[in-house]
Amino acid sequence: MDLIINIRPEVREELGRQAAAQGVELGVYAANLLEEATHVGAGSKKLSVEQLDQALEEIAQFSDKIPSLPDEAFSRENLYRDHD
């Protein structure tokens, strides 16, 4: 099925950048986004090793900016201090 969607130029540019980063055509990338948004075939989609690596890199992109917690933050007393 063909579908024509009017989007703002800046959105199209960003979609184009993201599609290029994934190594796919813009139309394919946009169709994948729509499928994910509607959860069609959610259980049948498998990531390639490259896609998984890229997803994990995106998740970890700003992990160096997350402050470290002191060890005592994970003590039983601190985790359950609002219970008694």
Is 4 contained in some domain?
no
- Token pair for 55: 């997803």
Is 59 contained in some domain?
yes
Is 2 contained in some domain?
no
Is 75 contained in some domain?
yes
- Closest C-alpha to 56, from 48, 67, 65: 48
Q: Mean pLDDT throughout 6-13? A: 93
CA distance 24 to 18: 9
Residue 14: its pLDDT value, please?
93
Residue 13: its pLDDT value, please?
94
- Token pair for 33: 């986004």
Question: What confidence tier does 18 reach under pLDDT thresholds 50, 70, 90?
Answer: very high
Count of domains observed in the chain: 1
Is 48 contained in some domain?
yes
State in Å, rounded, how far the first CA of the chain is from the last one. 60
Look up the domain containing 42 and give its range: 9-79
19 and 28 Cβ atoms separated by less than 8 Å: yes
> What's the pLDDT tens digit per position in 55-80?
899 889 888 888 888 988 888 888 88
